[in-house]
Structure 1
Amino acid sequence: MLSQFNQFLLNFSLLITSLLFASLPLRHVKRISPASPVKLRILVGLIAGFISVLLVLNSITYDGAKIDLRLVALVTAFYYGGWVSAGITTLAILGARFAVTPPGAYEGLILTGLICIALLITASIYRRFASHTLKDYLVLIGIGIGYSLPALYLLTETFNRFLEIALVYIIFILLGGYVTYRFLQELRKHFQFVQTQQELALTDGLTNLANRRKLDETLAHYDQHGYAFSVLIVDIDFFKSVNDTYGHDGGDVVLRQLSHLLEHCCPDQALVGRYGGEEFVVLLPDTPLKEAGRLGETIRSACADQHFVFSAYPAFHVTLSIGAASSDQGETSFEVVQKADQALYQAKQTGRNKVVGYSEE
């Protein structure tokens, strides 16, 4: 019994270690379910199939039976990816089982195939009445155990031998299933926490736009890959007067409302960020200067027409000065931003509430 215990621990350690490394490609996926895109479910099936192969190749042989935790991998694939993932995992299990089966001794291989098919059919029926919980996951594990025990009995030499193996098998499959479920849930929480912290580090706390760090990283990325882009620097005219009249809370309301306006006006491929204070930046990849200027005019006009509302004060208007520049001369991103800043300065010096594109003249 102690030898069996140690062998199952090795199989269990292999399962958890494989899950940890195999989960890394999926760390940015917020949720995986049978309703996820097919490509994602195929990836889940390939990962679960790979883990199943490792488990089968390191299985414990008792008489004609191969004992391991492949059932946990199969149920996990079905639980998260449905038939697509489970089908791929089943094929991987059968392939691995065939590889370790001696010529002419195919009873175990046939029984493995029957168990997988019966489990998936039963699980499909059960899922219609179940929710996505630990209890349902363990029920699927239990169904798999129920189908596996008769096969285990047929492949062992004596009833006492069957009882000896079955007891250890049931305990470790249930324990392996429970720990796997909890492990994946905690791993998902950890990935989501890390992703949230990364997003917060690149997000302006007031407007939820990209912050200066995110903008600088994107500009560095443009430099590294030689991407062409245009940039708009958007500045609120006389913002100090807004703060003096309505207080800093009123100024914050203006910044938030303007951030919504910018997101609404800008195309999906644009990166909108707050550069600091009342200054915003819009990065426009693969966009010529004239098109960027037209977008700047759209933003300026929309802002001039918008009624800003704060507390019990009457609605009021603010205007924008916008500088535009493009990387069409092959400059670095820093030089392009400097050109846009010079254009913004010109807009302010010549009356404000306008869009000025950078010109060498």
Structure 2
Amino acid sequence: MTLTVLLLNACVAFTGFYIISKIYHSTLFGSEHLRSFIIGLMAGALGLFLMYNAVEANDTVRVDLRHLPLVLLAFYGARSPLLIATLVIASTRFLFGVTEQAVIAFIATFIVSIGMLWIHRLLLERLFLQSIFLNIWALFIISIAIFINMGWGPAFVSLVLTIWMVGMLVGLLSSTLTIDLEKTTRRALEYKQSSERDHLTGLFNRRVWDRYTATLGEEDRTYNVLALDIDHFKQVNDTYGHGNGDLVLQQFADILKVETRAHDTVARIGGEEFVILMYDLTPKKVDKVANRIRERIATEVFYLNNFPPIQITTSVGVAHGTALSIKRMVDLADSALYQAKNEGRNQVVVSTYETPEPIMT
């Protein structure tokens, strides 16, 4: 009977694992804190369910698989959800009676979680081994707690052997399931990133730029498009080789990442051509931002392979407008960039265009 109940609980745990894993990797939540809270509560609720379906060794000692949700969260290194789930599982043990055994279980639950965090950090990249040791640690602490409550005897030996047999079996299966889900998710993210990112610089590519900006003209919102071009970049390639030209492009892109905000869209759309989308900046402010980027580029040292470091400059054309189509804004930015190059390069030109008010008839 004990073995049957534990195996049924394991099946429920597997279902919970799958749902929690999906939520953990979901991008539907606007708040990271909200997602962590929901995951922690779900894992805690799963632990409580497993407690309600526990095997009662005697009138006061209950044995179950409540540690399994904690193993999952520790595997992901989800500290906040693990803390929430630990609090829920440890505290709700008192629903079955405020006894000495409940206090021991409360303490053991926290010891299990603390040890799991250490194991996760120690075996971070060895996924299968990490998962196995997480289960072994939990079963070890559970065995100690049972021994404190029951003492040594045939009943203790029989119960602990059953728990270890089921626990390790479930641990192996859950490890395989969790690792498979993790690898599948990682692979999907890699495919998504490779289709959206420029392979050389890590910035967005033209496909993503076109998708993100397709509906800008439909929004009654002010935005800016910055078009940047590395001055005399052909000379860099001709003098130092295309490999070093790529190094310059990578370092240039890194500077753009640092000098823009997290919600700005930065893309490489051509060889040495870059564009930036910035919302809600006045012409004066966007001119200040563009000049800051230009000055940072001009003072930066760009390192090459087998050649001394060099310095480069960039010209920037800026289009500022409200409710304009992206095509119109890019044309304005390109015209401003062309003007900046004609006027000597290494400078910023801002083109401002406001949508005219409709004529009332």
Matched position secondary structure for 2:275? strand
1:243 to 237, 250, 257: 237
Tell me whether 1:119 sits opposite 2:108 in the alignment.
Answer: yes
Matched position secondary structure for 1:276? coil
Contact 1:141 1:177 in 2 (8 A): no
Aligned CA distance change for structure 1 residues 191 and 152 (closer, same or farther; 3 Å): farther
**Aligned-pair CA distance for 1:248:** 1.9
Aligned CA distance change for structure 1 residues 354 and 72 (closer, same or farther; 3 Å): closer
Tell me whether 1:336 sits opposite 2:329 in the alignment.
Answer: yes
Matched position secondary structure for 1:231? strand
Which residue in the other structure is 1:139 paired with? 137
Contact 2:45 2:88 in 1 (8 A): no
Which residue in the other structure is 1:46 paired with? 41
Aligned CA distance change for structure 1 residues 139 and 272 (closer, same or farther; 3 Å): same
C-alpha separation in 1, matches of 2:304 and 2:163 = 67
Residue 334 of structure 2 aligns with an amino acid whose one-letter code is D
Aligned CA distance change for structure 1 residues 69 and 351 (closer, same or farther; 3 Å): same
Trace 1:4-19 onto structure 2 (pairs within 5 A). Answer: 5-19=3-17
Trace 1:34-183 onto structure 2 (pairs within 5 A). Answer: 43-59=38-54, 68-73=64-69, 81=79, 84-95=84-95, 98=96, 110=99, 113-120=102-109, 123=112, 131=122, 133=130, 134-135=132-133, 137-148=135-146, 167-183=161-177
C-alpha separation in 2, matches of 1:318 and 1:232 = 18
Trace 1:222-237 onto structure 2 (pairs within 5 A). Answer: 228-237=222-231
Contact 2:115 2:137 in 1 (8 A): no
Residue 16 of structure 1 aligns with an amino acid whose one-letter code is F
Contact 2:72 2:178 in 1 (8 A): no
TM-score (norm 2): 0.73
TM-score (norm 1): 0.73
C-alpha separation in 1, matches of 2:178 and 2:320 = 47
C-alpha separation in 2, matches of 1:226 and 1:63 = 70
CA displacement, residues 88-119 of structure 1 (integer Å, 9 cap, x when unaligned): 22234555xx5xxxxxxx5xx74762342241
Residue 120 of structure 1 aligns with an amino acid whose one-letter code is T
Matched position secondary structure for 1:322? strand
Matched position secondary structure for 1:234? strand
Between 281-290 and 224-233, report the one with greater CA deviation.
224-233
Between 284-293 and 271-280, report the one with greater CA deviation.
284-293
Tell me whether 1:325 sits opposite 2:319 in the alignment.
Answer: yes
Which residue in the other structure is 1:103 paired with? none
Which residue in the other structure is 2:126 paired with? none
**Aligned-pair CA distance for 1:164:** 6.8
Between 313-322 and 284-293, report the one with greater CA deviation.
313-322
Aligned CA distance change for structure 1 residues 49 and 125 (closer, same or farther; 3 Å): closer
**Taking every aligned residue pair, what percent have the same amino acid on both sides?**
27
1:26 to 24, 27, 40: 24
C-alpha separation in 2, matches of 1:284 and 1:277 = 22
C-alpha separation in 1, matches of 2:36 and 2:103 = 23
**Aligned-pair CA distance for 1:300:** 2.5
Which residue in the other structure is 1:211 paired with? 205
C-alpha separation in 2, matches of 1:246 and 1:286 = 40
Which residue in the other structure is 2:278 paired with? 284
Contact 2:205 2:267 in 1 (8 A): yes
C-alpha separation in 2, matches of 1:212 and 1:293 = 24
Contact 1:78 1:86 in 2 (8 A): no
* Structure 2 residues not aligned, in runs of 5+: 124-129, 355-361
**Aligned-pair CA distance for 1:208:** 2.3
What number of residue pairs does the alignment pair up? 336
Aligned CA distance change for structure 1 residues 122 and 10 (closer, same or farther; 3 Å): closer
Contact 1:115 1:144 in 2 (8 A): no
Residue 88 of structure 2 aligns with an amino acid whose one-letter code is I
**Aligned-pair CA distance for 1:260:** 2.9
Contact 2:218 2:323 in 1 (8 A): no
Matched position secondary structure for 1:23? helix
Residue 257 of structure 1 aligns with an amino acid whose one-letter code is Q
Tell me whether 1:188 sits opposite 2:186 in the alignment.
Answer: no
RMSD: 4.1
Aligned CA distance change for structure 1 residues 221 and 48 (closer, same or farther; 3 Å): farther
Contact 2:90 2:109 in 1 (8 A): no
Residue 273 of structure 1 aligns with an amino acid whose one-letter code is A
Matched position secondary structure for 1:325? strand
Residue 262 of structure 1 aligns with an amino acid whose one-letter code is L
C-alpha separation in 1, matches of 2:300 and 2:158 = 78
**Aligned-pair CA distance for 1:188:** 3.4
**Aligned-pair CA distance for 1:221:** 7.7
